[in-house]
Amino acid sequence: MSFSDQVYQELAAVVGERYITRKDFILAGNRAKTPEMPVAHPSAECIVCPATTEEVAEIVSICLRHDLRYLACVTGCIPSAYASGPDTVFMHLKRMNHMEINVEDRYAIIEPGVRHVQLYPEVRKHGLSYAAAAVGPGGSPLVTYAVTGGDNHVQYGASRPCRYLLGVEMVTPEGEILRTGSLQTDSGWFCADSPGPSLRGLVRGYSGNNGKLGIITKCAIALDQCKGPAEIRREGISPHHKMFMDGDCSRVYVFNYENIQDVCDAMLALGEAEIAATVQKYFYLPLTLMMTDSANDFFKKWEYCKKTVPMPLVVHIATQSPEEREYEEKILFDIVHETKGTRIPRDLEMWWEEHMDYFMIVTRLQSVLRLGGSWFPCKASAESVQHMCDIGESISEFIYDFTDTGKIFDAPENYQIIPMEYSHFASSELLFMWDRFNPDGFKNMMEFMAASSATDAKYFYHGSTSSGYGPSAEKKGKLYSNAHIWMEQIQKAFDPRA
């Protein structure tokens, strides 16, 4: 069935006339494509802004009854947050923005419309913290924790969001309200599991399912004790601001390495010694962009950074006492010496000292989009630290065919590896950029992705996570114990229209 005036009236009766629209200029704002998309997103038929879980459930039921598509959105940062076909009802969840912090039991209950900028400073005031995705202050913590990927830059001394998800309230594709974990037995939000089968894996799994198994209307996330000073001092005004973590218990050091195996050895040794709060092999192209204020500035600095920090290992030490910091520093410098790392020049290292917000809630990463090219991530997955480093090494087998011919930006080492849980495993991401004004740009990007997948298939690498099902998911699914077959069965069990 298609969208009609009658459906519009039914939806308006749920949320009230004030919270539904089909004005074209508002629809246009919610279909504007991001630069990397070759074609425009289809327009949604209307936008509804529910305020409660019950309203979300009613909207889903109306869509089901009239056989309409629907989707949830908070920020619209990724393509799956846009309509994918005609007859789509777009649910903007910005009104659902309540949060509650339980300091004693260390968890926060959040609705989808709560943003990092709202939650993180409050949590930190209580000496607590959580791993915020690099998406920036406007992103939704609930989406990161319950819906999408979730890898983040502080997961070395912490972990991925899938480990921190507690009770969840969601609306299933059948329009039913489901409460998981300790909520099922009316015992509160504190636990992801309760008697009976655990649903945590189904709600988000490892890499998230982008809302395909239901709309999450509320969830609780576990909070960690905050590492480093609770106060972060700001100087200047955004975007030319600096952020400092003052005091004797926080230091950041950056080293450069000549080859990825040495980086791997350093990460494993640091994890074994259980020192440092954050460890990352960072990517140098976004780093240079974050360090500069314009495209011209970037091109002035790029050759220097490319030569000086092709493989930066960033280490943040955050301790409870100055003595503990000195102890960790001694071990760190021993490990770096043994693994042949060298400290980078002070002018570059100082950038980190002056931008310590990078370790919690990233206010600068969006500036990488400024250069004007199109970005795309590949090799976005997780496995052991050694596996991720092997994948990093294999990139040189195919990337030069693309960088040397100008098909993608010439930054062959532009991949990051971030260990998790003290290097028990790690995530990776190769971020590449191409010229979106080049008529062959999209084709080049697709060829590059295909070359990357071919290397994964050749070596049986877990170079990208498996998601979805059907013929396109089969190749990857086979590398993950036939995950695509399980995914199909789960989707069919949950979704009457699958």
Ligand X SMILES: Cc1cc2nc3c(=O)[nH]c(=O)nc-3n(C[C@H](O)[C@H](O)[C@H](O)COP(=O)(O)OP(=O)(O)OC[C@H]3O[C@@H](n4cnc5c(N)ncnc54)[C@H](O)[C@@H]3O)c2cc1C
Q: Which is nearer to ligand X, 88 or 423 (CB)?
A: 88
Please report the DSSP string for 262-294 in residue order. HHHHHHHHHHHHT--SEEEE--HHHHHHHH-SS
Q: Which of residues 114-133 bind ligand X (CB under 6 A)?
A: 133
Strand bridging mode 233-235 / 242-244: antiparallel
Q: Which is nearer to ligand X, 78 or 451 (CB)?
A: 78
CB of 151 to ligand X, least distance (A): 5
Q: Which one among 47, 89, 134, 305 touches ligand X, defined by CB under 6 A?
A: 134
From 148-156, 256-264, 453-461, 488-496, give the range in contact with ligand X by CB under 6 A: 148-156
Q: Which is nearer to ligand X, 282 or 339 (CB)?
A: 282
Tokens of 177: 């309200």
Q: Which is nearer to ligand X, 73 or 158 (CB)?
A: 73
From 149-157, 173-181, 332-340, 460-468, give the range in contact with ligand X by CB under 6 A: 149-157
**71 binding ligand X? (CB under 6 A):** yes
**53 binding ligand X? (CB under 6 A):** no
Q: Which one among 11, 51, 81, 309 touches ligand X, defined by CB under 6 A?
A: 81
**110 binding ligand X? (CB under 6 A):** no
Site map (CB under 6 A) of ligand X, residues 456-475, x = contact: --------------------
From 68-76, 319-327, 338-346, 380-388, give the range in contact with ligand X by CB under 6 A: 68-76
CB of 88 to ligand X, least distance (A): 11
**264 binding ligand X? (CB under 6 A):** no
Q: What does the angle CA 424 – CA 101 – CA 187 come to, to the nearest 5 degrees? A: 85
Strand bridging mode 107-110 / 215-222: antiparallel
| Unique residue bearing structure tokens 């949590």 | 123
Q: Using CA atoms, how far apart are residues 260 and 56, in angstroms rounded to an integer?
A: 48
Could you tell me the CA-to-CA distances from 283 to 67, 267, 313 in Å, in that order?
Answer: 45, 16, 9
**93 binding ligand X? (CB under 6 A):** yes
Q: Which one among 149, 412, 441, 463 touches ligand X, defined by CB under 6 A?
A: 149
**Strand arrangement, sheet containing 88-92:** 20-21, 46-48, 88-92, 69-73
Closest by alpha carbon to 49, among 98, 113, 143?
113
Size of the site for ligand X (CB under 6 A): 31
Torsion angle of the four alpha carbons 124, 127, 131, 135, in this order, in degrees rounded to the nearest 10: 10
**151 binding ligand X? (CB under 6 A):** yes
**59 binding ligand X? (CB under 6 A):** no
Tokens of 256: 């450069």
170: number of CA atoms within 13 Å, CB side?
27
Q: Which is nearer to ligand X, 59 or 71 (CB)?
A: 71
Q: Which is nearer to ligand X, 88 or 339 (CB)?
A: 88
Beta partners for 425?
A: 420
Q: Using CA atoms, how far apart are residues 357 and 359, in angstroms rounded to an integer?
A: 5
Cβ neighbour number for residue 496 with a 10 Å cutoff: 11
Query: In whole angstroms, what separates CA 134 from the centre of its chain?
Result: 6
CB of 185 to ligand X, least distance (A): 24
Q: Residue 357 is which amino acid? A: D
Site map (CB under 6 A) of ligand X, residues 207-226, x = contact: ---xx---xx----------
CB of 10 to ligand X, least distance (A): 21
Question: Which burial class, exposed, middle or buried, applies to 366 when counting CB atoms under 10 A from its CB (0-12, 13-18, 19+)?
Answer: middle
Q: Which is nearer to ligand X, 80 or 438 (CB)?
A: 80
Tokens of 388: 């991720």
Q: Which is nearer to ligand X, 209 or 339 (CB)?
A: 209
Q: Which is nearer to ligand X, 81 or 411 (CB)?
A: 81
Q: Which one among 47, 72, 131, 269 touches ligand X, defined by CB under 6 A?
A: 72
Q: Is the peptide bond before 345 cis (omega within 30 degrees of 0)?
A: no
Q: Which of residues 338-377 bind ligand X (CB under 6 A)?
A: 365-366
Q: Which one among 150, 175, 312, 373 touches ligand X, defined by CB under 6 A?
A: 150
Cβ-based neighbours of 222, under 8 Å, separated by 6 or more: 106, 107, 130, 164, 165, 166
* Residue ranges in contact with ligand X by CB under 6 A: 71-78, 80-81, 93, 112, 133-135, 139-140, 143-144, 147-152, 210-211, 215-216, 365-366
